Homo-oligomer: A and B are copies of this chain.
C-alpha cells in the first residue's frame, strides 16, 4: 500500500511555492497494540501554517525542515488495535499531510458522523468555529444591542464571530481587505457594517463612523493599526479577545506601537489572549450548539473543497491569493465504512 506524504523541503521566503514542498512515499509500519491506522479524508489548509513554515519565534512552534507538515485532518480508522477507536470510526486530529497515518489514538477526538458533513469538523464545527465561539462568547460576552467589531472578518473565524454576534442581537462591524469581502459580509452574512481597510483612508475616522455608539466587544485576528483604530472607539467596560495578531507574524523583534494599557485603564476594559485548546473541555457542548445553529440556518458556512492529495500545496498557496471563499479544504479520499 502506497503512502504519500508531503514534507517541508525548505522554509519559504515570502509567498510559499512548490519548491518548498516535497512529496515522498513512506512505508506504513505494522500496527502495535493500542494503535490505529488512519486514512486521511479531508485536509485543512490554513493561513497560520505559513507562520509555522518560518523559524521566526511565534506563539506556535515552527515546522521542521525534512519533516511532514501537520494540520487539522478528518480521518477514518481503517484498521485498529485500540478498542476505543474501532474500525470505521471517524476522528479529527492534528495529523501529518499523509494519506495514511499510524497513530496511538491519543489526542484524537471522535466525530459523530450524523451531526453534519464530515468536512464541517475542520471548519465551522472545528478549530475555526470553536475559536470564534469561545473567544466571542467566553471573553467578549456580547449583550443584545452592543457593538461587536471583528477584524479578519471574512476569514474562517471572522465570518463565524460576526454571525454568532448577530444571533446574540448585536450590531456587527467587520474589517476586511477587499470590496468583494465587504459586500459578502454585508449582503450574505448580515453584518451591519463592514470596512475595507485597504481603501478606508483614516482607519480611526472610518471606525468611529462605523461605530457611532462606540465598541463594546472587539474580536481581533489582526493587530496593528486596525486594532489601534478600534481601541480609540472603545466603550467603558469593553472586552477584547485577542485571537490572532497576523500583523506581527513576520516580525522577528518584539513589535512596538501604540500602548493599549492607558486605554484599558481609562475604560476599565478587559483584554484577553487565548488559543482554542484553552477550552478543550467544553468542545463537545460548543460543537453541538454550533451544529444546531447551522441546522437552523442561523449560521451560514462556505467551503471551497479541492480534490486530491496531490493538490494540497496548490490549495494552500491559494489562501494567499484569495482564491478561496470561506474555508479551504482538500478532499483526499472517500469514507470506506
Contacts and interface: CB of A to CB of B under 8 A. Distances in A.
Interface in A207-263: 220, 223, 227, 237, 242-245, 248, 254-263
A256 B225 CA distance: 12
A292 interface: no
A273 B278 contact: no
A65 interface: no
B255 A256 contact: no
A237 B278 CA distance: 9
Given A273-B267, A273-B269, A242 B261 contact: yes
Interface in A253-306: 254-275, 278
Contact of A273 (B257, B261, B272): B261
Nearest to A228: B254
A260 B257 contact: no
A310 to B, nearest CB: 35
Contact of A264 (B257, B262, B273, B278): B273
A268 B259 contact: no
A295 to B, nearest CB: 31
30 contacts: A59-B262, A59-B265, A223-B261, A227-B261, A237-B278, A242-B264, A242-B265, A243-B265, A244-B265, A245-B261, A245-B262, A245-B265, A248-B259, A254-B258, A254-B259, A254-B262, A255-B258, A255-B262, A257-B259, A263-B273, A264-B273, A265-B273, A265-B275, A266-B273, A267-B273, A268-B275, A269-B272, A270-B271, A271-B271, A271-B272
Interface of A: 59, 220, 223, 227, 237, 242-245, 248, 254-275, 278
5 smallest beta-carbon distances between A and B, as pairs: A264-B273, A265-B273, A59-B266, A270-B272, A255-B259
